[in-house]
Structure 1
Amino acid sequence: MFAPRLALASLSGESDAEWAAACAHPAGGAFLGGIAIDEPTREAARSMVDRDREEFLPDDPVAFVDDQLTELDDTFLRAGMNVRTTSVEPLREVAAVCAAHDAMLEVNAHCRQDEMCAAGAGETLLRETDRLCEQVGAASDTGADVSVKVRAEVDGVHLPTLAKAVERAGADAIHVDAMDSRRVVRDVVDATDLFVVANNGVRTREDVFEYFSYGADAVSVGRPSRDPEQVRSTYAAVKEWFL
């Protein structure tokens, strides 16, 4: 999927090509976005901006994705695009662009902002497995490698079961925000053959080693991705694990 086994995780309104390029050497992958790509999610994003959230709201989301990935075509890392949508047609368009750049398409089933959930995107998809799998299948059919960003500790959601479902639908990877339940990574690893990216609280050598001891294939950093020195430190721990 990518190597080194360290990814930069998307930050709302911040994770663009410039952000990724700042850590393009020590990181192996970078998920840009998230970006709202259909009208319900774009309206939700506009409402979020009105209350001072940072969001990407280009006039043409598909062209924006193409432009951003083009900027990273010659970098060391493998790019991905984290997208939020309620419908599959825009998803197919963006996934096709990702495939053309050998980039990953990441379906966002993670965002818990009220406006995005009310629109039927983000975390809502964790409780609506059929819709989530429809999105995964539509993206996979374009030839793109598909990741699904998920969150632990959502009431009524059993992540290992969900992981099996998205794997059957065509997903290649699952990006797990473990919250305060890091051992859920082991449960997901045991349940599927997906490439498992562990996220949340990756700061120290001990954090990296813990996630890899649970069987994660890679780790990702969110807020620390703003600091190239922190990314280099995390990379050193990843490298040490695989020695």
Structure 2
Amino acid sequence: MFEPRLALASLSGRSDAAWARRASEHAGAALLGGIALDEPSREAARELVARDREEFLPPDPLAFVDDQLAALSEAPIRPGFNLRASTPAPISEAATICRAYDAICEINAHCRQEELCTVGCGETLLRDTDRLCEYVRAAAAEGATVSVKVRAEVEGVDLAETARAVERAGADAIHVDAMDSEGVIRDVADAADLFVIANNGVRDAASVREYLAYGADAVSVGRPSDDPQVLARVGETVDRLAREARA
């Protein structure tokens, strides 16, 4: 899906094309966004901004997705976009744009802010597998490469079951924020034939080795994605382990 197998995880209001380009020396993929696509999710994002959270709120979110991906068309990194919407229809539209740039269309079933959950975004999708699969099918129908961003430690959610369901719906990858339950990566990797991206606490060689030992295909870096020293450490480890695996 991408090489080297280090991704940059989206950071609300900060993860744009310039951010991705700065880290392209070390990472194989960059997931821009998150971006709210429809009016309910945009209103939730405005409420988040009102309480001092950074969010992308361009006048036309789909045009923003297109512009940002176009800006990376010649960059040595595979782009993607982390997407939020209250219904599947805007996801379908964004997936068409992602397909045109060979970008990853990442459905956000991860965010837990009350404002987003109230309008049916983020973690509410994780708690409602049928709805989440509707979003996956909408994106997959447009021919996009589909990832689903999820989190561990959500009461009542079995991520292994989620992985099997989204795979049947047409997902290609699952991006797992392991929280403090790193072993959940093994459960997900064993449950489905998806490309598994492990996130949370990826800072050094030890954390990379741990996640890959659990069966992750790649790792992602969130908050330190603008720290060249962290990216260099993680990127070098990913490269070295890949060479060892090929030897």
Between the aligned partners of 2:141 and 2:30, the Cα distance in structure 1 is 22
Query: Could you say which residue in structure 1 is the equivalent of 2:35?
Result: 35
Task: Summarize deviations over 1:169-190 as a string: whole Å, max 9, x none.
Answer: 0000000000000000000000
Partner SS for 1:40:
helix
1:157 paired to 2:190? no
What is the CA-CA distance between 1:89 and the residue it aligns to? 1.6
Partner SS for 1:138:
helix
Structure 2 matches for 1:34-53, cutoff 5 A?
34-53=34-53
Compare 153-162 and 226-235 and name the one that shifted more.
226-235
Task: Summarize deviations over 1:54-108 as a string: whole Å, max 9, x none.
Answer: 0000110010000000010101110000001111221111100000000010000
Structure 2 matches for 1:179-198, cutoff 5 A?
179-198=179-198
Query: Could you say which residue in structure 2 is the equivalent of 1:96?
Result: 96
> Retained in 1: the 8 A contact 2:203–2:234?
yes
Equivalences, count: 243
Q: Which runs of 5 or more structure 1 residues have no equivalent in the other structure? A: none
What is the CA-CA distance between 1:160 and the residue it aligns to? 0.2
Aligned residue identity for 2:213 = S
What is the CA-CA distance between 1:240 and the residue it aligns to? 1.6
What is the CA-CA distance between 1:228 and the residue it aligns to? 2.0
Query: Could you say which residue in structure 1 is the equivalent of 2:139?
Result: 139
Aligned residue identity for 2:229 = E
What is the CA-CA distance between 1:226 and the residue it aligns to? 1.3
Query: Could you say which residue in structure 2 is the equivalent of 1:64?
Result: 64
Between the aligned partners of 1:185 and 1:229, the Cα distance in structure 2 is 25
Query: Could you say which residue in structure 2 is the equivalent of 1:232?
Result: 232
Compare 60-69 and 230-239 and name the one that shifted more.
230-239
What is the CA-CA distance between 1:194 and the residue it aligns to? 0.2
> Retained in 1: the 8 A contact 2:164–2:191?
yes
Aligned residue identity for 2:240 = E
TM normalised by structure 2 equals 0.97
Between the aligned partners of 1:76 and 1:108, the Cα distance in structure 2 is 25
Query: Could you say which residue in structure 2 is the equivalent of 1:242?
Result: 242
- Aligned identity (percent) is 63
Partner SS for 1:116:
helix
Between the aligned partners of 1:9 and 1:195, the Cα distance in structure 2 is 15
Partner SS for 1:176:
strand
Partner SS for 1:81:
strand
Aligned residue identity for 1:239 = D
What is the CA-CA distance between 1:208 and the residue it aligns to? 0.2
Partner SS for 2:179:
coil
Partner SS for 1:209:
helix
> Retained in 1: the 8 A contact 2:147–2:172?
yes
Query: Could you say which residue in structure 1 is the equivalent of 2:207?
Result: 207
Query: Could you say which residue in structure 2 is the equivalent of 1:14?
Result: 14
Alignment root-mean-square deviation, CA = 0.6
Aligned residue identity for 1:40 = P
Between the aligned partners of 1:139 and 1:21, the Cα distance in structure 2 is 25
Query: Could you say which residue in structure 2 is the equivalent of 1:23?
Result: 23
Between the aligned partners of 1:139 and 1:86, the Cα distance in structure 2 is 14
Runs of 4 or more above 6 Å deviation? none
> Retained in 1: the 8 A contact 2:5–2:218?
yes
Aligned residue identity for 2:6 = L
